[in-house]
Amino acid sequence: MSPPTRRAFLRDASLLGTTATLPWLSACGTSTSPLSGPSGAASVFRHGVASGDPLSDRVILWTRVSGVSAGSVQVRWLVGMDPDLNQVLRSGTVTTHAERDYTVKIDAEGLAPATTYYYRFEALGQSSTIGRTRTLPVGTVDHLRLAFTSCSQYEDGFFNVYRVMARRADLDAVLHLGDYIYENDGTDRLGRRPEPPREILSLEDYRARYAQYRSDPDLQEAHRQHPWICVWDDHESTNDSWKDGAQNHNEGEGDWPTRKAIATRVYHEWMPIRTPDPDDLTRIFRSFAFGDLVDLIVLETRLFGRDRPADSLAQRRVIDDPGRTMMGFEQEDWLAQQITASTARWRVYGNQTMFAQLHVLNSLLANDVINVELLDIPANPDQWDGYEGNRDRIFDQWRVQNIRNNVVITGDIHTSWANELTPSPGDLTQYGPLTGRGSMGVEFITPSVTSSGLPEIDGIADVIRLVNTHIKYVDTASHGYVLLDITPERCQGEFWYVPTIETPDDGEAFAAAFLTRDAFGDGQNGWNRLERSSSPAEPKADAPALAPAPAAAETVAP
């Protein structure tokens, strides 16, 4: 989704080649030798370390070797249970080369469930900083904490959100729901000019853009301290993308299949994501079991199967077509199987765009003279509102199979929302906005890391809630993240905001929280709704130690 302007939100009807040199890297000097730049981890491991896609017995570990111009490099990895890695439990060696942009991604196996581990890499006689990760639990789980965010446009501001997320020692995982990078040409703002300084199109362009983002110290620290579970939205390829094209892929920019293949390839190179199918890099929908407490189901709604979005709100016939899909019918079948097979207390759906209806007008305002269908006008057909048939099929399964405790988590829109999920929010016979009657689940939408929000118009949040009575909370200006605190009895979503993105800052503040209660525990049918909570949940006791602060570069034996 493009950063909204003051009018756009309601107006729109609608592994080959070399890495481009970044300005800060040029200052280090270049050389034809295998290693260039200053000595130590700062030159060999310029882009830090990361982990992701944790399972109960394994986790992906990631890094990149910098300063190498040709040939292959041997990289050693080590995993231990103490922050200083005095006792190594697992280790191995992997080879990286130019075809994968000298990135390293290994699946560290043979680990224990619900355990915090520490890891590092060694190459070219130097060692990386130490990272920290955690495996998923099995069996009975009493408490889980997940933080999620999205939409981090580099030139829009400093990544203070990542900084404050990094220091939360009790997180089980961090989720990024898309727009990790932006493909646009950007502007030189706050000294954070996008590199390369143009819209990215080629393999070298995409790699250079990821390299710039991963040079940010706050993003590096968030990756270093927590395992991440990631999925792309549109800007990892280009704005408003779908399986066969994109709004921002224009004449003169080459063919779409080539650009799509480049974008997905580089994402898999630079992100700590397990690659389920090397022959189809768009197939990144997957699930994670956090014991008996949560099944996290991560959806892909951009490049795998999404039909072309409606060009305008006037294309009501397109929007209403039940034969259209946001996910692709193969993924729809996979999701239906995941829902049916889930025995966890909670189902959390990692998703890119707003699932709840967001209407300009609403049928609550209708009368005998005004046509109800004319008043149910979706604000943005790029969201689930533009794919009503696909959304209705999910609602139908929840209803027919009596699937409760559904929590959708969402990014994309750069703003904060808490919504009740119901097929017909404007029909008082089907949904009671005061009691939550008829709600089948809830949705928490994260604010952005930096990307611009909605126009700051007095009362806009109140108007949105008036027209859309299933929407219980809106903040259109703040930047931050959502913390999910989950127990068998309830799932609480907390909105945490940073005070500024204009300068580096360590602050954050609790803004609001909403909880949804377990709909099975006491036999009541009305608990698929939101209740306001007055305070944040208590952190976990005895959280494992964070990874130690980076020390001076250490020379290791070759």
Relative to beta strand 103-108, strand 116-123 is: unpaired
Give 447-500 as a 3 state SS string.
CECCCCCCCCCCCHHHHHHHHCCCEEEEECCCEEEEEEEECCCEEEEEEEEECC
Q: State the Cα–Cα distance between residues 419 and 353, nearest whole angstrom.
A: 13
* Diameter over CA atoms, the chain: 82
Buried b (16+ CB within 10 A) or exposed e, 170-194: ebbbbbbbbbbbbbbebeeeeebbb
Amino acid at 123: A
Amino acid at 316: R
Contact call for residues 461 and 474 (beta carbons, < 8 A): yes
3-state secondary structure of 238: coil
Relative to beta strand 346-351, strand 406-410 is: parallel
Look at residues 91, 121, 156, 398 and name the one whose alpha carbon lies nearest to residue 272: 121
Note the pTM of the prediction, 2 decimals: 0.90
Q: What is the pLDDT along the chain (558 residues), one digit of tens a residue?
A: 544 332 232 222 222 222 222 222 222 222 222 333 334 556 899 999 999 999 999 999 999 999 998 999 999 999 999 999 999 999 999 999 999 999 999 999 999 999 999 999 999 999 999 999 999 999 999 999 999 999 999 999 999 999 999 999 999 999 999 999 999 998 888 999 999 999 999 999 999 999 999 999 999 999 999 999 999 999 999 999 999 999 999 999 999 999 999 999 999 999 999 998 999 999 999 999 999 999 999 999 999 999 999 987 667 788 889 999 999 999 999 999 999 999 999 999 999 999 999 987 554 443 333 333 444 567 889 999 999 999 999 999 999 999 999 999 999 999 999 999 999 998 999 999 999 999 999 999 999 999 997 766 778 888 899 989 999 999 999 999 999 999 999 999 999 999 999 999 999 999 999 999 998 765 455 589 999 999 999 999 999 999 999 875 555 544
What pLDDT is attached to residue 360?
A: 73
Look at residues 79, 18, 81, 5 and name the one whose alpha carbon lies nearest to residue 49: 79
- Phi and psi dihedrals of 268, rounded to 5? -70, -30
3-state secondary structure of 88: strand
Residue 52: both structure tokens together: 């992701």
Look at residues 469, 401, 473 and name the one whose alpha carbon lies nearest to residue 439: 469
3-state secondary structure of 256: helix
Query: What residue ranges define each of the domains in the chain, with the CATH number in brackets?
Result: 8-14+132-533 (3.60.21.70)
CB-CB neighbours of 368 under 10 Å: 4
CB-CB neighbours of 523 under 10 Å: 7
Look at residues 162, 163, 91 and name the one whose alpha carbon lies nearest to residue 127: 91
Going by C-beta distance under 8 Å and a sequence separation of 6 or more, which residues neighbour residue 102? 64, 65, 66, 68, 73, 96
Give residue 152's Cα distance to chain centre: 10
Sign of CA dihedral 262, 349, 214, 187: positive
- Phi and psi dihedrals of 223, rounded to 5? -65, -40
Relative to beta strand 286-290, strand 294-298 is: antiparallel
Q: State the Cα–Cα distance between residues 466 and 479, nearest whole angstrom.
A: 24
What pLDDT is attached to residue 525?
A: 53
What pLDDT is attached to residue 370?
A: 36
Phi-psi region of 49 (alpha: psi -120 to 50; beta: other; left: phi over 0): beta
Q: State the Cα–Cα distance between residues 162 and 164, nearest whole angstrom.
A: 6
> Which neighbouring-strand residues pair with 447?
none
Contact call for residues 127 and 106 (beta carbons, < 8 A): no
- Phi and psi dihedrals of 375, rounded to 5? -90, -20
Residue 456: both structure tokens together: 């700051």
